[in-house]
A and B are shown apart, each in its own frame.
Chain A
């Protein structure tokens, strides 16, 4: 018995001393903690992580204003008929397996991305061929000016041909980025080391790790405990706690993601634009942004936030809060106050169900606030918190009445990718429901077909104008990226478009 007890204590002592030793030596591994698990190595499933950990790169990228610049591509030209693009790749770049970056390797990566329904499958691409060693040719079915923006998406990451097996599944990720993928443990821990051949600015961070931690509170604990150097998608409450503890820093950045209400415009209640406007006027965005999100600047005045600088139009009339005007509009639309204070029309009370989900922080809380605010103007809202997948599922069944969601307009740095997919001729799972505008479709196609920048500029403002006036979806607040950052690192910049490496420009604190 004594021997057993002694062994147990020895094991615990060893484990304990190991923990102390790690702390004392200050192991120099930069640890990034994010909620998203990696569901396989194929880039349409894992590219977000490999791109953000600086392992893979795309042909193009976006600057902090959302303007498209070359990354692996040196330059590009489009043919006279605007249907053939030539991308010149940068010289002297090698993949992490030692093979050179060629147009052939890039073509293979992009063709597989196309097969796997990566975003370039929505760019009307018909052919991808290596014209010569460093010249890649991409053909589209019709003129598509936003192609370079689509190529900045992580699913269009370029990896070595050795990354694929015979069935074109990714078995190892050999990218061209600053960090080499060195190992993984399950679907939630990935390790990287600095590439000695990287062409860009060298950082003193030699090793990095990506930890997928789904629980927000745990990510907060990890950054406070000094176990994480960067923790993403924290809640405002966690941010406050971290700041007050002084154990880490917090950075908050408004990104091109918007919390918005999707309404089923096939329902008679929402078919009327003036009713949708009344709902918009009944929402106190400033109150929600200040009281719940602790960031008054996140109240949405239009669909896209200022961080989407190329699209945001400060001159657009703001979405305002005016419950009296909302009541007037509802009365004009034939809604009368019932005995219980809820509006009634043709004997039917004005009530509907709004689904939201908890995987994005604060959505259920914002939904509850909207519920209370709509009740002030006589609209009864039932909030249902479910899995995010319930929204597209119910939408395709036709049973969805309304949903509160956080839509990312920056997944393709030019928001046209998302706007066209959501409000264009065939709206996707997160777009307008039962609403269509021929005028908008014409403008959207015009934008995609034009290669004239001033003309595109005018078109995008007209597009935003229609969305602001018609309100097929009602913007509520802009989404803020809350990141906990340890004192061990400095020069951290947050990419509003969520495509650049987390570690870009970051150094250990001196």
Chain B
């Protein structure tokens, strides 16, 4: 088991460095001059002059060759130093911690609410497939999945912030700021995960071991609690781990709408400004998060089904 964990950590580092390297190559091969973007972000569009562009180029190290720039970054990264943002001059780690903290808060709240909704809906629909409840939940799920998060978020803002003035429209500095973005995100997540849970429960319901338990004369509730839940949870947990990774870095539209300073918004701003050191730091961290979330899911699956390691399935 420890060997497997060590392997995953190694995998994570390889993924992170590979993704960052690819990002560097892509950014450097993009048309345009990164120094122009950084100068514009620093001085504003009105203050952009070529003299300032050259000043920024020298100050940020962009006057070096691409290979030297990359090797400097790699050597620093191997010493656990992600350098300083070319745009703000602040340590990259400082910005990453601030934005990652907000992304994690949002992700945790959204996944918690989504599970709160999806678990009962998915289990009930899976236990009674084809029933009216199942059909209604499928229709509601399709509706939420097809509705863009931006539209759903804007509707919630109009109702709860503009119409009734009981929640803030946007921001991040008050506890209640988390409610609308997390609900918006959670509704989209619950729409999908409730269907995954339903399918998983249906598969478990039709399994041989549940039939055997019924033949033993156990009650339906006890059969599902003792034998169904754990088995049905395995694919669901893997799916939630993927959702977690997506929620951490892939909800930039919602972060923008609610002005929530997550890692997605930081990435967007950094790409706009072509802040190379920051973009590489973010891609490295996102790579590590994906591997970390998968490792966590594997560990939970191992806890739920220890036989899986014997069969060589997970981790």
Residues of A within 8 A of B (CB): 8, 12, 14-16, 18-20, 22-23, 36-37, 39-40, 42, 44-45, 48, 116-117, 119, 121-122, 155, 169, 185-189, 211, 213-215, 217-218, 221-222, 224-227, 245, 247, 359, 387-390, 392-394, 396, 405, 407-408, 411, 421, 428-430
Contacts and interface: CB of A to CB of B under 8 A. Distances in A.
Contacts of B52: 117
A253 to B, nearest CB: 18
A225 B47 contact: no
Interface stretch (B136-144, B215-223, B235-243, B251-259): B251-259
- Please classify the interface of chain B as helix (H, G, I), strand (E, B), loop, or mixed, using the class held by over half of its residues: helix
Interface in B150-177: 154, 157-158, 161-162, 165-176
Contacts of A23: 165-166
Given A189-B171, A389-B274, 19 more contacts: A8-B116, A14-B175, A15-B176, A36-B44, A37-B269, A40-B90, A45-B42, A45-B43, A186-B98, A221-B157, A224-B162, A227-B168, A227-B170, A227-B171, A387-B37, A389-B37, A393-B33, A393-B36, A411-B47
11 contacts: A18-B174, A44-B43, A116-B55, A215-B257, A221-B154, A227-B161, A393-B31, A393-B36, A393-B37, A396-B36, A430-B45
Contact of A225 (B154, B165, B179): B165
Nearest to A226: B165
A340 to B, nearest CB: 31
Interface of B: 31-33, 36-37, 40-53, 55, 87-90, 98-99, 112, 116, 154, 157-158, 161-162, 165-176, 178-179, 256-259, 261, 269, 272-274
A237 to B, nearest CB: 14
Nearest to B55: A117
Given A222-B170, A225-B168, A429 B48 contact: yes
A140 B274 CA distance: 36
Contacts of A421: 49
A408 B171 contact: no
A44 B49 CA distance: 13
Contacts of A390: 32
A235 to B, nearest CB: 15
A16 B32 CA distance: 48
Nearest to A405: B45
Given A44-B43, A411-B46, A189 B173 contact: yes
A40 B88 contact: yes
A187 B94 CA distance: 12
Given A227-B161, A411-B46, A218 B257 contact: yes
A349 to B, nearest CB: 25
Nearest to A387: B272
Contact of A119 (B47, B50, B90): B47
B175 A169 contact: no
A389 B157 contact: no
A221 B48 contact: no
Given A185-B173, A396-B50, A20 B45 contact: no
A215 B154 CA distance: 12
Nearest to B164: A225
B311 to A, nearest CB: 32
Contacts of B89: 40, 42, 169
Contact of B161 (A121, A188, A225, A407): A225
Contacts of B55: 116-117
A20 B166 contact: yes
Contacts of B33: 393, 396
B45 A225 contact: no
B214 to A, nearest CB: 25
B174 A19 contact: yes
User: Which of A119, A186, A247 lies at the interface centre, i.e. has the most chain B CB atoms within 10 A of its CB?
Assistant: A186
A429 B257 contact: no
B176 A217 contact: no
B174 A221 contact: no
B157 A188 contact: no
Given A186-B98, A217-B154, A392-B36, A39 B171 contact: no
Contacts of A16: 166, 176, 179
Given A213-B170, A387-B37, A392-B40, A15 B175 contact: yes
Contact of B256 (A215, A224, A428): A215
B36 A225 contact: no
B88 A39 contact: yes
Contacts of B41: 39
A363 B264 CA distance: 26
Contacts of A388: 40, 45
Contacts of B272: 387, 389
Contacts of B112: 8
A39 B176 contact: no
B32 A221 contact: no
A103 to B, nearest CB: 26
A428 B50 CA distance: 7
A211 B48 contact: no
B152 to A, nearest CB: 14
A173 to B, nearest CB: 15
A392 B40 CA distance: 9
B170 A214 contact: no
B176 A19 contact: yes
Nearest to B41: A39
Nearest to A222: B169
B40 A187 contact: no
B40 A218 contact: no
A408 B169 contact: no
Given A45-B42, A121-B51, A389-B32, A221 B87 contact: no
Contacts of B157: 221, 225
A392 B51 contact: no
A10 to B, nearest CB: 13
A20 B160 CA distance: 12
